[in-house]
Structure 1
Amino acid sequence: MAKAIYISATEKNAGKTSISIGLIKYLTEKGMRVGFMKPLAQRYVEVNGGRFSEDAVLVKRIFELPYRLEDMSPVIVEKGLTEEYITKKRRSFKRRIVSAFRRIAQDSDFVVVEGTGHAGVGSCLDMSNSDVAKAISAPTLMMAEGGIGNTIDRIMLNRSLFELKGAMILGIVINKVREDKYEKIQNVLRTALETKGMHTFGFVPYICHLATPTIAQIGEETNATVISGDEGLEEEINDITVATMEPHAVLDLILNSKKNLFLIASSDRLDVLLAIVAAFFEGAKNLKGILLSGNNLPPANILHALKKTGIPVLIARVGVYTLASMLSNLTVKITPGDNKRIESLHKLIAKHIDIELIMRQMEREKEIPWGLWDGGERY
């Protein structure tokens, strides 16, 4: 019978999907049949007319999992759903989630179940992370971002809700730990959490390239159209700058940049566009792409000069500052073809998380209690 682990976090964007992907890869390389599930999801994509968790779709495509998306992503929290549930226009989602989980578990040796946000997310539907973990009898691996005081406070706050619901926390993984504070955070947090009766299974360092977007991801986030330079779309970007300054300042910025630079510029700022072209032919090596803002393309001769740089040129039909706002909140997500990042995650997790210790700890827990469920009528 399958075992399962529930991946929760103290806050959003703590690295649940990244850890899930790394864990699945590790276990599949051990010869295990690993299932995946995202019980509740707020962000979705459309596949064959249905709406499913973008994380579930991603994991299914990366590992070519055989499970139905309807089971991997049973509940999408769309606009209005919470109100419908509270006003009794929707029934409880517990049966749907538990039934979907059981179908995946039947064909798996191990199931990785990824939660949404912190422990309380989903409470408005009576299906918080702690509720779901309890319903499927899965111990929880909690993710928290590297720090000391604030990290401990968040862990204890989230722990209290799991304890209230009777859901077990297996232990903690600390993610995105700054390299210059790694040893200090590791020593202090491990000691602090052990005194509170909590296991720590690993401390994962912050790796810059796992958090930096590619030009393709920038284009997708802004609904931009690629004009030229397709071959450079997988370049990773460290610095996104809005080029609204005078041309000489743009020239200085590009020529002196030490990071992979991506510029946002209005399509009607011809002086800025000419400065970009000039900088490139002056030997600028770190300018990796340009996103034009506006409803119209630049004049043909300037567009031709931009294309000759060979770097990606994109255009989005919104204002410069709207684009800047969109990208300021950009969360980098791994894509199915992102083999470099997937392999990096695998190595990172194998090195910094004691998965064998997690598995031994789980061995002390009983297997999924199939007898508590008989086709969805009882739990």
Structure 2
Amino acid sequence: MIGIYIGSTDAFAGKNIVLMALGLEMQRRGMRVGYMKPVGSLPKRVDDVFGDEDAIVIQELLGLEISPDILTPVIIPNNLRATTLSDETDALAAIQSAYNTISKDKDVMLVGGCGSIQYTGTHRGVDGITLSKTLGLKTLLVDRYRRDRLNYDAILNIKNTLGDDMLGVLFNDVPEDFSRDTEDILIPFLEKNDVDVFGTVPRDPMLNAIKASELAWRLKGKIISGNSQSQRIIQSFLIGTMQVENFMTYFRQSSNLATIVGGDRTDLQLIAMEGGCPCLIVTGNITPNEIVRARSEQLGVPVIQVADDTYTVARRMELILNSQKLRELVKIKRGAELVDNAFNYNRLCRKLSEKSE
């Protein structure tokens, strides 16, 4: 039996969808697959026990049945007030016991990481590096493109820490305009430094898309008109703070972009709606005038009113879109398809065979 820890250089990198795709592929190859997520951050109660919401979803998709509290023995909520920083229970021992139970009679054990492999869980002694070493796991890294780069420094640092126990890395959410640099420059550099790259998953805006109704809730706002179209999909956003002429030019070049604009900018609000934006977000707790509200009803464009200023809302929008959880079946299938097309499973299996000899 071999154990694989799926970790990442940072949170929200796509570990869950990679683990799901890998688990299903191994099942197709006839392997008996076990799964656990030792540390979770999304508490969910099932009957009389608590588990992690992500882990429960993945287990169901893999067709497995383990009690949620064994599946995820340690829960560290993101809410600091709900986190017991000084908990003296032996979290590592609980994880080791659960791993031993779940891994019985399995060919491969997939262990899902939480947050960053280097830091998350350190205060309880259960960060990803510690777990990998304690449980004797081989590590597959997922690194997501963000802030205009892939985190090759973190990858090399983790490789230096884990040595031969690091299997390699899978790049995720890489935009088309960066894919050539990834293939021509970054991958050869990492391979030269003994880091195997198993593939590059391209960006698909639909995976980070969100419905207008959910966006209103997460922005702590309310839909004040266009409610009949509250299920419209938003893939990204545009900030309407420029001059009208410049805004019109930029807006015509884009699609499926929600427009964030001050509640007093009636001119930009009308241009955005007439241009087909899927959702209008008005800031500053200013209610748009009657003309805007009436036109949103006619065009079917939901208008979300929020209290924060435009800059704050834009920052929150970026965080929301970059931290979307795959819950809808259509998104899960699409994400798994993207991973399947990019992941060199045969190369990984060959490396696992070498490690087990």
CA distance in 1, matches of 2:254, 2:64: 41
**1:276 counterpart (249, 264, 269):** 269
Q: Which moved more, 1:57-66 or 1:68-77?
A: 57-66
Q: CA deviation at 1:4?
A: 2.9
Contiguous gaps of at least 5 residues in structure 2:
none
CA distance in 2, matches of 1:206, 1:69: 32
Q: Which amino acid aligns with 1:336?
A: R
The answer on 1:262 being equivalent to 2:258 is yes
The answer on 1:72 being equivalent to 2:82 is no
Q: CA RMSD in A?
A: 3.9
SS in structure 1 at match of 2:248: helix
SS in structure 1 at match of 2:349: helix
**1:356 counterpart (340, 346, 355):** 346
CA distance in 1, matches of 2:327, 2:24: 13
Q: Which amino acid aligns with 2:25?
A: Y
Q: CA deviation at 1:109?
A: 4.9
**2:328 counterpart (322, 331, 337):** 337
CA distance in 1, matches of 2:237, 2:36: 34
Q: Which amino acid aligns with 1:84?
A: S
Structure 2 matches for 1:358-377, cutoff 5 A? 358-366=348-356
Aligned to 1:27: 26
| Contact 1:38-1:56 within 8 A present in 2 as well | yes
SS in structure 2 at match of 1:153: helix
Structure 1 residues 249 and 92: CA distance shift in structure 2, 3 A: farther
| Contact 1:334-1:342 within 8 A present in 2 as well | no
SS in structure 2 at match of 1:127: coil
CA distance in 1, matches of 2:151, 2:271: 48
Structure 1 residues 264 and 182: CA distance shift in structure 2, 3 A: closer
Structure 1 residues 291 and 57: CA distance shift in structure 2, 3 A: farther
Aligned to 1:5: 4
CA distance in 2, matches of 1:284, 1:156: 46
Q: CA deviation at 1:75?
A: 1.4
CA distance in 1, matches of 2:150, 2:235: 30
| Contact 2:208-2:235 within 8 A present in 1 as well | no
CA distance in 2, matches of 1:102, 1:240: 50
- Number of matched pairs: 349
Q: Which moved more, 1:59-68 or 1:295-304?
A: 295-304
Q: Deviations over 1:214-239 (max 9, x none)?
A: 53553343244455445552523232
**1:222 counterpart (216, 219, 222):** 219
**1:205 counterpart (171, 184, 202):** 202
| Contact 2:201-2:338 within 8 A present in 1 as well | yes
Q: Deviations over 1:293-351 (max 9, x none)?
A: 57686677864542232133334455554433322323242432141x32332232222
Aligned to 2:235: 237
| Contact 2:36-2:110 within 8 A present in 1 as well | yes
Q: Which amino acid aligns with 1:19?
A: V
CA distance in 2, matches of 1:184, 1:245: 32
Q: Which amino acid aligns with 2:269?
A: I
**2:317 counterpart (309, 318, 327):** 327
| Contact 2:259-2:281 within 8 A present in 1 as well | yes
Structure 2 matches for 1:1-379, cutoff 5 A? 3-30=2-29, 32=31, 34-41=33-40, 43-48=41-46, 52-60=51-59, 62=61, 65-78=64-77, 79=80, 81=83, 83-85=85-87, 90-106=88-104, 109-115=107-113, 116-145=115-144, 151-163=151-163, 168-226=165-223, 228-229=226-227, 231=229, 233-241=231-239, 243=240, 252=248, 256-265=252-261, 269=264, 272=266, 276-277=269-270, 280=273, 283-285=274-276, 287-293=277-283, 303-316=293-306, 318-330=308-320, 331-339=322-330, 341-366=331-356
Contiguous gaps of at least 5 residues in structure 1:
368-379
Q: Deviations over 1:178-237 (max 9, x none)?
A: 434534533544443344333332233334443454535533432444554455525232
Q: Which moved more, 1:10-19 or 1:220-229?
A: 220-229
Structure 1 residues 51 and 302: CA distance shift in structure 2, 3 A: farther
CA distance in 2, matches of 1:92, 1:337: 36
| Contact 1:201-1:358 within 8 A present in 2 as well | yes
Q: CA deviation at 1:257?
A: 4.9
For normalisation by structure 2, the TM-score amounts to 0.78
CA distance in 2, matches of 1:12, 1:132: 17
CA distance in 2, matches of 1:56, 1:198: 28
Identity %: 21
SS in structure 1 at match of 2:140: strand
CA distance in 2, matches of 1:250, 1:181: 27
Q: Which amino acid aligns with 1:276?
A: Q
Q: Which amino acid aligns with 1:100?
A: A
Q: Which amino acid aligns with 1:105?
A: S
For normalisation by structure 1, the TM-score amounts to 0.74
Q: CA deviation at 1:258?
A: 2.4
CA distance in 2, matches of 1:229, 1:25: 39
SS in structure 2 at match of 1:335: coil
